[in-house]
């Protein structure tokens, strides 16, 4: 049994069903999806992604890419480029799939970008298989060692050492900003490298019709394997769980502790409650009467635009939110789904999507700061707004209780929790109870629509299923 029908929960259910197990999924909300829901939150006909929007890890996921999801309705739409990064008084920096085209736009740092990224592009899928998972012997130890020597560094160190000009530094800082950590922290270079590598392997796609198409396809495939999904069933305690052989929880650690406390050691439950979630996000969705009027229209070719200016500006923004402050010029992740998927908005109109990082539980309205940042690089943007919808940290947590304090990544992925999430165990998906497993983004490899947390948790659960044969469906506790 799987509790939670987000991407990881459904991925776990698919793995179990593919192995011949009878699988039920329980979802508290009336719709499935977790962070991959799509809704008309501004005006009728404008379909907005409620959380996740562009999906480099979805299209490149070592597990999801093996599934026949296109046969179940999923269509990836690829833009011309993955990332654009506007700068004041200069053309935008663009991260194209073509390495040489990207290097040509980096000026003095073209050769340095090539030297940094090219070694990881000869077999990127093998690297992703090693990186997107728990600590274990890598398939290619030499490549992983080379990656690790760079990945452990703070993003500001790596960019400062490798690049002389602002264009490459800003581009790398924008990629590293997805870590939701100060860029001076160790291992923030890992996210910068991974996102840059993925952009040279595949253009960061959007899902046709909305991100909900990803989990809808997973659910359709699960049903074709005989699995069942029940919505509107909130599990608050083990008394709410029907009998099953094993239980996999696509929840945050505190929910797992609250639900399963009677069947978990007190010391383990206490460690789950010590889990750190980190900063939250403030997000805006817009209904627009036209595309975002970027000063450099090349930005319209990218699915994702990193708005924040120079590396120093981005680093200052991320340091502020970590210190409990709100930046007046926040680093933004902007996604332009309707630029490539006409089904997202009425003809001649567009959707807009942007969020910034804020302190956990923040109630500060960042609307003016976000729109001011976009206006800085896209004069006239505010004039194109027909309607807006704000999602604060509390709204995110109400929508998905896994997003504690508005943290959308499953918890802090710093040096203290990157490899020991949710607690330090040889098998991070297991618990001291052999029938209880955690499969959420609070396990390795962490946040993102890739399904790998669910995949590894289900593989772990399969290892004990023989101890609980199908004829022994047991009430937990």
Cα–Cα dist 207/223, whole Å: 21
pLDDT digits (tens, 9 = 90+) for 248-259: 999 999 999 999
Dump the DSSP string for 330-344: --EEEE-GGGT-GGG
Length of the chain: 477
Percent helix, strand and coil across the chain, each to the nearest 5: 40, 15, 45
For 206, the 3-state DSSP assignment is strand
**Residue range 316-370, pLDDT digits in tens:** 999 999 999 999 999 999 999 999 999 999 999 999 999 999 999 999 999 999 9
Whether 160 has a pLDDT exceeding 70, the answer reads yes
Q: Report the pLDDT value the prediction gives residue 139, as an integer from 0 to 100.
A: 87
> What CATH homologous superfamily does 2-77+208-275+411-467 map to?
FAD/NAD(P)-binding domain (3.50.50.60)
Domain segments of the chain as ranges = 2-77+208-275+411-467, 81-205+278-398
Contact 49, 343 (CB under 8 A): no
Provide the pLDDT for residue 298.
98
pLDDT, residue 289, reads 98
**Using CA atoms, how far apart are residues 269 and 258, in angstroms rounded to an integer?**
8
Per-residue model confidence (pLDDT) at position 63: 98
Taking residues 233-237, report their average pLDDT: 94
- Is the pLDDT score of 214 beyond 80? yes
Which helix (H) or strand (E) segment holds residue 242: the answer is none
- What is the rounded radius of gyration, in angstroms, for the C-alpha atoms of the chain? 22
Query: Domain 81-205+278-398 carries which CATH code?
Result: 3.90.660
Q: In this predicted model, which residue has the larger pLDDT, 477 or 67?
A: 67
pLDDT digits (tens, 9 = 90+) for 85-139: 999 999 999 999 999 999 999 999 999 999 999 999 999 999 999 999 998 999 8
SS3 call for 129: helix
Q: What is the pLDDT of residue 466?
A: 80
* Amino acid 471: pLDDT: 56
pTM: predicted TM-score of the whole model, two decimal places: 0.96
Beta strands at 81-87 and 90-95: parallel, antiparallel or unpaired: antiparallel
pLDDT tops 70 at residue 477: no
- β-pairing verdict for 2-3 and 247-249: parallel
The residues, any chain, with a CB within 8 Å of residue 104's CB and separated by 6 or more, are: 110
DSSP letters, 245-309, are S-EEE-S-HHHHHHHHGGGS-HHHHHHHHT-----EEEEEEEEESS----SSGGGGGEEEEEES-
More confident residue, 455 or 476: 455
CA geometry: angle 11, 70, 38, nearest 5 deg: 70
Question: Rounded to 5 degrees, what angle do the CA atoms 474, 475, 477 make?
Answer: 120
pLDDT tens sequence across 300-318: 999 999 999 999 999 999 9
64-88 mean pLDDT:
98
* Cα 434 to Cα 206, 446, 460, 464, distances in angstroms: 38, 22, 10, 7
């Amino acid at each position: 049994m799987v509790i939670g029908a987000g991407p990881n929960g459904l991925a776990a259910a698919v793995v179990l069903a593919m192995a011949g197990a009878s699988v039920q999924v329980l979802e508290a909300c009336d719709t499935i999806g977790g962070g991959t829901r799509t809704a008309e939150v501004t005006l009728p006909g404008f379909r907005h992604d409620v959380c996740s929007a562009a999906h480099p890890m979805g299209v490149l996921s070592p597990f999801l890419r093996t599934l026949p999801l296109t046969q179940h309705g999923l269509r990836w739409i690829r833009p011309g480029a993955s990332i654009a990064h506007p700068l004041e008084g200069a053309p935008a920096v663009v991260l194209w799939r073509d390495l040489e085209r990207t290097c040509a736009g980096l000026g003095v740092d073209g050769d340095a970008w090539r030297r940094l990224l090219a070694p990881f592009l000869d077999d990127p899928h093998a690297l992703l298989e090693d990186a997107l998972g728990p600590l274990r012997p890598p398939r290619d130890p030499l490549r992983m060692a080379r990656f690790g020597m760079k990945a452990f560094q703070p993003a500001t160190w790596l960019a400062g050492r490798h690049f002389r000009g602002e264009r490459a530094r800003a581009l790398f800082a924008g990629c590293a900003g997805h870590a939701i950590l100060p860029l001076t922290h160790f291992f923030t270079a890992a996210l910068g490298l991974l996102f840059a590598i993925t952009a040279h392997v595949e253009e960061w796609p959007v899902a046709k019709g909305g991100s909900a198409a990803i989990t809808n396809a997973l659910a359709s495939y699960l049903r074709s394997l005989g699995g069942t999904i029940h919505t509107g069933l909130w599990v608050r305690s083990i008394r709410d769980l029907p009998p099953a052989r094993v239980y996999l929880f696509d929840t945050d650690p505190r929910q797992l502790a609250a639900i399963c406390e009677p069947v978990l050691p007190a010391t383990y439950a206490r460690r789950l409650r010590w889990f750190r979630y980190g900063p939250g996000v403030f997000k805006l969705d817009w209904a627009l009467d036209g595309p975002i009027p970027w000063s450099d229209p090349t930005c319209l070719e990218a699915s994702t635009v990193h708005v924040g200016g120079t590396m120093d500006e981005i680093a200052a923004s991320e340091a502020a939110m970590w210190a409990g402050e709100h930046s007046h010029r926040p680093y933004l992740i902007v996604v332009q789904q309707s630029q490539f998927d006409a089904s997202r908005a009425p003809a001649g109109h567009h959707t807009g999507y942007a969020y910034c990082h804020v302190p956990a539980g923040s109630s500060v309205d960042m609307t003016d700061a976000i729109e001011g940042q976009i206006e800085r690089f896209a004069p006239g943007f505010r004039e194109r707004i027909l309607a807006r919808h704000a999602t604060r940290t509390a709204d995110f947590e109400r929508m998905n209780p896994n997003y504690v304090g508005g943290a959308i990544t499953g918890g802090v992925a710093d040096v203290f929790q990157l490899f020991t999430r949710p607690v330090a165990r040889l098998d991070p998906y297991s618990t001291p109870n052999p029938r209880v497993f955690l499969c959420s983004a609070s396990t390795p490899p962490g946040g993102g629509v890739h399904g790998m947390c669910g995949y590894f948790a289900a593989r772990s659960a399969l290892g004990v299923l023989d101890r609980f044969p199908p004829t022994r469906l047991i009430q937990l506790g």
